[in-house]
Amino acid sequence: MTVKLKQMTLYRKHTEWRGKMRGKKVAWSLVLITILFMTVIILGDDGFGNNGDSNADSEDDVKISESAYPGIDIKAVIDESETYRMAIHYPVFEAPSLNQEIEAYVDSAKKQFFREVDKNQQHLKERPATFNVSFDIYRVSDEVYGIAFDEQSFVGGANGRQEGQIYHMNLESEEVFNPEQVIVDSQNNRKALYNYVLKEFQESEEYRDFFFKEYLQDLMLNSPDLFRKIILKDRELLLKFDKYEVTAGAAGMPEITVPLEEINLTLTETGQDFLKVDGKDESVTESDDEEKQEDQNSEVGNEEEEDKEEPLKKVALTFDDGPHSQYTPEILEILDRYDAKATFFMLGNRVEFYPDLVREVFDRGHEIGNHTYDHKDLTAMGAEAIQNEVGKASLAIEEIIGRKPKILRPPYGAFNEAVENSVQIPLILWTVDTLDWKHKDPQKILESVKSDVEEDSIILMHDIHSGTPEGLGKVLAYLDGEGYDFVTISELRNQGS
């Protein structure tokens, strides 16, 4: 059987991006493909219990990939409805006392957002509210980390809200502490900090046209919130301000670094030791500890040597929102049993937490696609913000596998003309939605595939949910029996060329 060439670019004239594709079969044209899709609700399932995968290895043999930050993992809560889109990412520690502090913050932020959504239900049906919580992590030593949250929401009106929240965690003592335990809160210290920060704002090409001196002065000399703006680092401080707090909105959330050798601060006894720890600062926006992989001899997802005279029917298995420290390794093992290649659309923030796992996915011959950095709704963003959200994820992936991903799956499957014009790589959606994010039921995953699969289908699953590995095993067994070959997205796009 000769497989027809089928181009998988998105339909450029698609204007109603909120269309549904659940349970639909898609007719592929030679040049363009029209995909009617439903908005996808994804609720991160980061538990570590037995997922009951009858096809997986025994529990004793399950491999859990280690984080790049020992003792810290990352959890995602991703959800949507008719009136909102939400993506929350936060760190998870081994110590329950540290998790309680973070979970209390996340819960409070969610409740505040949903109160606003409840007040604006009617007009949000026209344009859903958006809520995103992301974080940067800063390593001061092996035991001490600073966590800086960035909370962004838009519930109508002219402007959205963007705020920060900072925590400092000691993994050894299992304590949450604040900078006042390190820096004495005195007028002399406040004045020294203010004078340095004022000079930085005045000389900054990025901020000087937007900052308000009187706001900065009041915050730094009088406000009890000052020390909540400080990230402690090795031999320096990082001050992070909320949007509109000391600048116009165009400046975003300003950051100013203060080297301790350039100002005279009075430190507590704890602080004198704490701020002189030898070590490198790291944040999840960089991957300094990860060497770039040497040039590969083949492209991502290159086709293996084909021994068959007649090509099989092809189908592309895709996984979103990972990698996950437990479920992704399980999925890799199951794929290997069927010599199946798949495409993993990864989030940049999780990529930086699990670099070894990302490299393993790549080394096993699977394709890695871009799913943005923080799973933000790209349709609610301007061109520059879209490029940053996509580019940041591409860079994180490139630093680990040595190349940028060639395809992008937009979060929620949501895109518009601005998104298409802002990215330089093909947008890839799906034709079979297993709804694994919703029911986490392996048998229902199989039933979805049986109902909707056809030649050249793109099947959507998520490697962050407990039921997906077992469901994948069932799907592979069924499709293999039906004569399907399992290929990457790039292989499917390039067939016949």
User: Contact, 318 vs 458, CB < 8 A?
Assistant: yes
Within 378-472, strands assigned E span 432-433, 458-462
Active site residue 377: no
d(CA 482, CA 338): 13
d(CA 432, CA 243): 41
Catalytic-role residue among 320, 374, 456, 463? 320
Catalytic-role residue among 462, 463, 465, 485? 462
As given in the structure block, the two tokens for residue 139 are 């390593």
Evaluated on CA atoms 270, 271, 276, 279, the torsion sign reads positive
Which of 17-37 are b and which e, b meaning 16 or more Cβ less than 10 Å from the residue's Cβ? Answer: beeebeebebebeeeebebbb
Q: How many residues does the chain have?
A: 497
Cis omega (within 30 of 0) on the bond before 323? yes
End-to-end Cα distance, the chain: 16
User: In terms of Cα–Cα distance, which of 312, 310, 299, 379 is closest to 340?
Assistant: 312
d(CA 180, CA 95): 23
Evaluated on CA atoms 253, 133, 238, 245, the torsion sign reads positive
Within 66-221, strands assigned E span 72-80, 84-93, 129-139, 144-154, 161-170, 175-177
Distances (CA, A) of 440 to 42, 53, 336, 467: 11, 12, 22, 5
d(CA 289, CA 82): 41
d(CA 5, CA 42): 32
Displacement of CA 179 from its chain's centroid (Å): 28
- Would you give the DSSP letter of residue 209? T
Q: Which residues contact 430 (CB under 8 A, 6 or more apart)?
A: 21, 35, 37, 318, 413, 458, 459, 460
As given in the structure block, the two tokens for residue 123 are 């007009």
d(CA 84, CA 78): 11
User: Contact, 149 vs 134, CB < 8 A?
Assistant: yes
d(CA 4, CA 286): 43
Active site residue 462: yes
User: Contact, 47 vs 76, CB < 8 A?
Assistant: no
d(CA 236, CA 38): 48
Q: Which residues are catalytic?
A: 320, 462
